[in-house]
């Protein structure tokens, strides 16, 4: 009897170990979405931890060991991880997750991409030719990334197809309801709502349909702020701004990846005054000096916000991240 129990425990443990799909992501946002889509079939870890700039990660050897046993490696792409992705993948010697293999995914595929450029020069700072890589603060892109992750998980673990389909659709539904509120999702369907949002005419269409009062969720909280100007430290908030109708009128960095200079900050102060900017948003890993400088000379308020899951203790998953951002930006722009 005891032997049987031990044997079944061992067997159970063994099958569990075999079934667990090991996923390594670059950012914590990707990890959060991968956990939602993968559910109990996957174990997920991210390379970026805590509040760190995802551009400036070093290819630590420990990451190579972690990726060595990965079934799936997920990066944002768009050169966000250009400094460390390849050294980590090569160092891991894991051919399953090499670029182009089924176990490798650029989650930005098919996402709405802003700042695409036909010609790039480093005179414009550390810009990325394929577009701005900070795509995840647009919930539309989050659902697209979830859909891509679902596809990649099915590739590496076909037996889990049903789970991944179900989890991915549940994630999309949760995003949709968090974005627009349950009432509108049930009334118009997500396709219509996202199309209106994409065209920048969500409020107009809702009014035409006498449904403006039903708008809730992130879009509902942000709606009164539409059209307002904000300033960000890095060009990492344009997807959020684009989705919710805000305008990023200046960045504290003179160019992406270049530290603020006094001359540039002086011009930012001018812009903040003339455009009536009420909020300066920045991730917690930047020093507050530049933002405080501008805020001290204008009516703008400094919002140190998580730009990714894990940047602050409350931003434990994608939904909490967006909740925190939406709550504080909408109240600052009130």
Partner 1 sequence: MTVPIQSIVAGAAMALSGATAEPPEPQDPQPSQPAKNVFNPQMSIVTDFRGILIDNHGEKEWKLNELEFGFAADVDPFLRAEAYISVHKSGHHHHEEGMEEGLDEYEIEIEEAFGVYSGLGGGWQVKLGKFAGAVGRIQRNHIDQLNFLDYPFVIQDLFGDHGLRAPGVHASYLFPGQQFLELTLEAVQAEDGPLFEHAKLDKPVWIGRLRTFFDFSEDLSAQLGGSILTGPRDEDRATVFGLDYTMKWQPGQKGQSAVFEAEAYWANSNEPGFSSTFGAFAALTYQVAPRVFLTGRFDYSELPGTSDVRRGFGGNVTYRLSEFQLLRLELMRITSNFDDPRTVLTFQFQYLIGAHPAHKY
Contacts to partner 1 by CB under 8 A: 49-53, 56-62, 64-66, 68-69, 77-79, 82-84, 86-87, 89-93, 95, 98, 100, 106, 108-110, 112-113, 116, 118, 122, 125-126, 129-131, 140, 143-144, 147-148, 151, 165, 169, 172-173, 189-191, 194-195, 198, 257-259, 284-287
Q: Least distance from C-beta 167 to partner 1, angstroms?
A: 13
Q: Least distance from C-beta 100 to partner 1, angstroms?
A: 7
The structure tokens listed for 118 are 């036909």
Q: Least distance from C-beta 274 to partner 1, angstroms?
A: 28
Instruction: Specify the residue, 165 or 323, whose C-beta has the smaller distance to partner 1.
Output: 165
Q: Least distance from C-beta 198 to partner 1, angstroms?
A: 5
Instruction: Specify the residue, 198 or 204, whose C-beta has the smaller distance to partner 1.
Output: 198
3-state secondary structure (DSSP) of residue 74: strand
User: In this structure, are residues 272 and 290 in contact, taking their beta carbons and an 8 Å threshold?
Assistant: no
Alpha-carbon distance of 71 to 42, in angstroms, equals 10
Instruction: Specify the residue, 86 or 207, whose C-beta has the smaller distance to partner 1.
Output: 86
In degrees and rounded to multiples of 5, residue 193 shows phi and psi of: -65, -45
Query: What is the DSSP track for 11-30?
Result: HHHHHHHHH-EEEEESSHHH
Instruction: Specify the residue, 126 or 275, whose C-beta has the smaller distance to partner 1.
Output: 126
Q: Least distance from C-beta 292 to partner 1, angstroms?
A: 15
Instruction: Specify the residue, 79 or 317, whose C-beta has the smaller distance to partner 1.
Output: 79
Alpha-carbon distance of 193 to 102, in angstroms, equals 33
Q: Least distance from C-beta 168 to partner 1, angstroms?
A: 9
CB-facing half-sphere around the CA of 172: CA atoms within 13 A: 18
Alpha-carbon distance of 13 to 11, in angstroms, equals 5
Instruction: Specify the residue, 245 or 257, whose C-beta has the smaller distance to partner 1.
Output: 257
- Where do we find the tokens 């950012």? 27
Which has the closest alpha carbon to 246: 317, 325, 146?
325
Cα separation values, 230 from 10, 117, 242, 247, 282, Å:
57, 23, 12, 6, 11
Q: Least distance from C-beta 271 to partner 1, angstroms?
A: 23
Which has the closest alpha carbon to 256: 82, 75, 84?
82
Instruction: Specify the residue, 119 or 227, whose C-beta has the smaller distance to partner 1.
Output: 119
């Amino acid at each position: 009897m005891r032997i049987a129990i031990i044997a079944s425990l061992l067997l159970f443990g063994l099958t569990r170990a075999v079934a667990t799909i090991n996923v390594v992501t670059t950012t914590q946002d990707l990890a959060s979405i991968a956990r939602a889509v993968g559910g109990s079939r996957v174990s997920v870890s991210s390379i970026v931890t805590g509040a760190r700039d995802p551009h400036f990660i070093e290819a630590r050897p420990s990451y190579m060991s972690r990726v060595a046993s990965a079934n799936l490696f997920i990066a944002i792409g768009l050169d966000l991880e250009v400094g460390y992705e390849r050294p980590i993948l090569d160092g891991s010697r894991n051919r399953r997750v090499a670029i182009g293999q089924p176990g490798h995914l650029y989650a930005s595929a098919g996402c709405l991409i802003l700042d695409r450029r036909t010609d790039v020069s480093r005179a414009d700072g550390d810009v990325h030719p394929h577009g701005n890589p900070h795509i995840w603060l647009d919930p539309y892109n989050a659902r697209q990334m979830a859909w891509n992750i679902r596809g990649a998980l099915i590739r590496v673990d076909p037996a889990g197809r049903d789970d991944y389909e179900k989890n991915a659709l549940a994630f999309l539904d949760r995003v949709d309801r968090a974005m627009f509120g349950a009432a509108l999702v049930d009334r118009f369907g997500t396709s219509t709502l996202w199309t209106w949002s994409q065209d920048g005419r969500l409020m107009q269409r809702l009014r035409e349909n006498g449904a403006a009062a039903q708008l809730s969720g992130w879009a509902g909280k942000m709606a009164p702020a539409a059209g307002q100007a904000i300033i960000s430290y890095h060009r990492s908030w344009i997807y959020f701004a684009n989705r919710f109708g805000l305008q990023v009128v200046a960045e504290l960095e003179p160019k992406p990846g270049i530290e603020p200079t006094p001359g540039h900050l002086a011009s930012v102060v001018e812009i903040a005054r003339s455009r009536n900017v009420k909020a300066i948003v920045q991730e917690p890993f930047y020093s507050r000096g530049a933002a405080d400088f501008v805020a001290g000379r204008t009516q703008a308020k400094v919002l140190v916000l998580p730009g990714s899951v894990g940047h602050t203790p409350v931003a434990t998953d994608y939904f909490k991240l967006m909740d925190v951002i939406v709550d504080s930006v909408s109240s600052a722009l009130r």
